[in-house]
Amino acid sequence: MAIRLIVKEPDEVLHKTAKTVTKVTPNVQKLLDDMADTMYDAEGVGLAAPQVGILKRLIVVDADEEHGLIKLINPEIVSMEGEQFGPEGCLSIPGLNGDVRRAETVTVRGLDREGNEVTITGSGLLARAFQHEIDHLNGVLFTDIAEKVYEYTAERSETGE
């Protein structure tokens, strides 16, 4: 396992559509493991393969205690319910946050690290993280859909503004 370099905006890889993974190989599994290490090292709650410069449909998310670390291959949202509105940041866009409207609950289907089909339903931060990371796979950044973008400050983070 290794920590990879996180690609920063305006790198063009962040604006491209990632390719479907057709076979779960040891290299795909290693990439997922490296992505998790990279996400934890950067103190994030999610990371998509394009953020480490690789256009494959892979994400890792760790946004709640119930589910813990989730590694998904070819994730897709199969249902969305409700609405939440709040701040988001991104490891590829340091120093900026944005107010983004997302579904409150989403169900995501994909393959786990071993290639088994899994379906996971999450709400709140987990739902937000799933939507944010899957957007990355489609070349969409939170700044593309935010209703307001602003500089990140510790004060604003603590108050939730």
Binding site annotation covers 132?
Answer: yes
Which H helix or E strand runs over 110? strand 105-111
Can you give the residue ranges of every domain in the chain? Answer: 12-159
User: What's the one-letter identity of residue 63?
Assistant: A
Residues marked as catalytic: 133
**Residues 161, 105 contacting (CB under 8 angstroms):** no
Beta bridge partners of 73: 58, 111
User: What pLDDT sits at residue 152?
Assistant: 79
User: What pLDDT sits at residue 113?
Assistant: 96
Written as tens digits, the pLDDT of the chain (161 aa) is 699 999 999 999 999 999 999 999 999 999 999 999 999 999 999 999 999 999 999 999 999 999 999 999 999 999 999 999 999 999 999 999 999 999 999 999 999 999 999 999 999 999 999 999 999 999 999 999 999 999 977 654 443 43
CATH topology (fold) of 12-159? Peptide Deformylase (3.90.45)
Binding site annotation covers 15?
Answer: no
Distance CA 64, CA 82 (A): 19
Q: Supply the mean pLDDT for the chain.
A: 94
Binding site annotation covers 136?
Answer: yes
